[in-house]
A and B are shown apart, each in its own frame.
Chain A
C-alpha cells in the first residue's frame, strides 16, 4: 500500500537523519583527538632527544659487551610517531662517533657487542624522526670488563655439584667392594646371543658407531660397548667389520679392539683392517656401508652411536639381509626407525647405562648410580612443583605460590 508519508514517518526519518549527523560529528571529533594536534613538517621537525644516557658493563661476560640505556624521548608517545633510536659510540678522547645500532620506538636499551675489553667508550643516542636526528648528551666513559664467575649459573653449579658428589660417593662405595644394583637392560642380554649366532653361521659382525666424531658422548658410549663386543668376538674367533666415517673414531676403535684382543689373550688375531675409514660424507658413507652389508651378509649388525637420516637406510638394508640388529642412540628423531626395524634398541640413556651394566666396573657403576640420584631429584621436584602449582592456583595459597616460584627459579637458566 502506497500513499503520502504520515507525520510519524517524517518524524522518524528526520530523527534518523539527525542521529546520523550527530554520530558523524562525534566520530570526526574522536578521530581528530586521536591524531596528533598537528603533524609536523618532516623536513624541519626534530623530536626531543632521549635523556639520561648511560653505559654499563654487561654482567657476567668475558668483557665483550656494554649495555647502553636511556630514558625515552618525550615525543616517543606511541603509534610509531618517531622512527626509532640510533646509538652512536666513540672512544674516550675521540669525538668521531660511529653508529652501532638502531632500535625501534619504545626501546630503552641496546647491547653493543663490538667492543674490546679494557677500552673506554662513550655513547650518545639520537631520536630519529624521518631521518632528522636529535642527539642526547654524551654518556660517561665506561670500559667492558671480564667477570671471572658467572653467578647466573650458580644454581646449575650447585645441582651439578650434588650429582657429581653422588657419583664420587657411589664410585668410592663400589671400589670398597659393595655391590651396586643395576636393573636388567633389555637388549644387552641379546649381545652375546647375537655374536653366538654369527659364530654358528660363520659370518662376520658389522659394527657402526654412528657418523659423529669422538666429541659426541654417543660415539664414546658406542666405542665403550665396542670394547665388550670385541672381547666376545675375540673369544669366539669371528670376524668383525667396522666401517667408520671419522678418522678419530677409526683411531679410537682400533685401539679399543686391539685392547680387547689383548685382554682375550689373542693379540696375534688383531688386524688394523677390521676398522676402515670410508668418508666423512654422510650419504657416501651410507652407500658404502649398504654395499658392505649386501656383499658380506653379516649375521649381526650393531648400530651404537649418533645417527641421523641414515638410520632407516642402514636398518632396512640390515633387515633385508636377515641380520640380527641391535641399535642404540640418543637421537630422538632416529629412535623410532631403529625401534621399527631392529630386533633390540637401546633408547637414549640405556645406551650410556649399557656400558656400565656390561663392564661391572666400579667407576662406571658409580657414575650410573650418581646419575640416578639426579633423576630422583628431578622426579621429586616435578611432583612437588606440579602439586604446589596446582594447589596455589586452586586455593590461592601464598605459601605454595612462593614454593612454586622458588622451584621454578632453581631450574631457570639465566644467560
Chain B
C-alpha cells in the first residue's frame, strides 16, 4: 500500500512539474484531483470541526455554551442568500465579521507595528543601548542604530500621504523607498533559499523514495 502511495505521489508531483513545459492534459488531471480532493477535504473538516464539534456538541454537551447560538444564527442568516427575496439579510453577518475582526485585530497590529517599532527605534546613535556611554557601541552596532532610526523615519515619510514628495521631504521619501527596496532584496534572497529547500525536498522524494537512486 505504501508503494502504491509513493507511485501516486510521484505521478502527481511530475504532473504538476510538467506545467513548467506548458499546460497539458496531465497537469489538468493533477490540478483537478488536487482541487477536488482539497475542496472535499475542507468541506468535511469544517463541517465536523465547526458545526458538529464546536457548535452542536458545544450547546448540547454537559456544560452548554449558549453564546454559540449567536454564531449559529449568523450562519443561518448567511445561508439566506439562497433565497433571493430575502438574500439581503446575508449582508448582516458579513458586516458583523468584517467589523468585529477589524476591531479585534486593531490592538494587536497597533501594539506590534506601531508601539514596538517606535520603542525599538529609540536608541542613542553612537551608544550600544540607552543608558550606556557614547561610543560604547561597536562600529557594527553604531551603523545598525543609524540605519534603524533613519530607515524607520524615512520609511514613515514615504508612507505619509498628506504631502507631495517634493524638496527635502521628497528626498527623505526617496531614502525611505530605497531602504524598503534593500530590505526587499534581502528578503527575496532569503525566501528564494527557503523555496530551494522545498524543491530539494521534492527532488529527494523523486530520486530517493521513488526511484531509489539516493540512499
Hey, which bits of chain A sit against chain B, CB under 8 A?
153, 155-156, 159-160, 180-183, 185, 214-217, 220, 248, 251-252, 255, 277-281, 283-285, 287-288, 290-291, 294-295, 309, 312, 332-333, 335-337, 339-340, 347-350, 353, 357, 368-369, 372, 374-376, 378-379, 381-383, 385-386, 389-390, 392-394, 396, 401, 404-405, 407-408, 411-413
Contacts and interface: CB of A to CB of B under 8 A. Distances in A.
Interface of B: 16, 19, 22-23, 27-28, 30-31, 34-35, 37-39, 41-42, 46, 78, 81, 90-91, 94, 97-98, 101-102, 105-107, 109-111, 114-119, 121-127, 130-134, 136, 149, 152-153, 156-157, 159-165, 180-181, 183-185, 187-188, 191, 195
A215 B96 CA distance: 10
Contacts of A255: 91, 94
A251 B94 contact: yes
B110 to A, nearest CB: 6
Given A251-B90, A336-B191, A220 B184 contact: no
A333 B46 CA distance: 29
A182 B191 CA distance: 34
B119 A412 contact: yes
B204 to A, nearest CB: 19
A252 B159 contact: no
Nearest to B130: A389
Contact of B115 (A340, A393, A413): A413
Contacts of A281: 34-35, 38-39, 41-42
A57 to B, nearest CB: 23
Contacts of B23: 291, 294-295
Given A248-B97, A390-B134, A278 B160 contact: no
A390 B31 contact: no
Given A278-B39, A333-B187, A413-B111, A382 B94 contact: no
A214 to B, nearest CB: 5
Contacts of A411: 115-116, 118-119, 122
Is the contact region of chain A dominated by helix, strand, or loop, or is it mixed?
helix
B24 to A, nearest CB: 10
**Of residues B34, B98, B162, which shows the largest number of chain A Cβ atoms within 10 Å of its Cβ?**
B162
A180 B114 CA distance: 24
17 contacts: A156-B110, A181-B162, A183-B162, A217-B109, A281-B34, A285-B35, A294-B23, A333-B191, A335-B184, A382-B152, A389-B123, A390-B127, A393-B127, A393-B131, A408-B122, A411-B115, A412-B119
B208 to A, nearest CB: 22
Contacts of A156: 107, 110-111, 115
A206 to B, nearest CB: 15
B131 to A, nearest CB: 8
Nearest to B112: A413
Contact of A284 (B19, B39, B130, B191): B39
Nearest to B163: A183
A287 B184 CA distance: 26
Contact of A336 (B91, B110, B185): B185
A277 B36 CA distance: 12
A180 B161 CA distance: 11
A288 B37 CA distance: 13
Given A288-B34, A336-B187, 13 more contacts: A182-B162, A252-B98, A288-B35, A290-B19, A378-B156, A379-B156, A382-B153, A386-B121, A393-B130, A393-B131, A404-B130, A407-B122, A408-B122
Contact of B127 (A348, A385, A389, A413): A389
Contacts of B152: 382
Contacts of A280: 38-39, 42, 46
Given A156-B110, A156-B115, A385 B38 contact: no
Contacts of A372: 160-162
A288 B161 CA distance: 37
Nearest to A348: B159
B94 A248 contact: yes
A279 B35 contact: yes
A408 B130 contact: yes
Contact of A252 (B30, B94, B165, B188): B94
Contacts of A183: 161-165
A281 to B, nearest CB: 3
Contacts of A348: 159
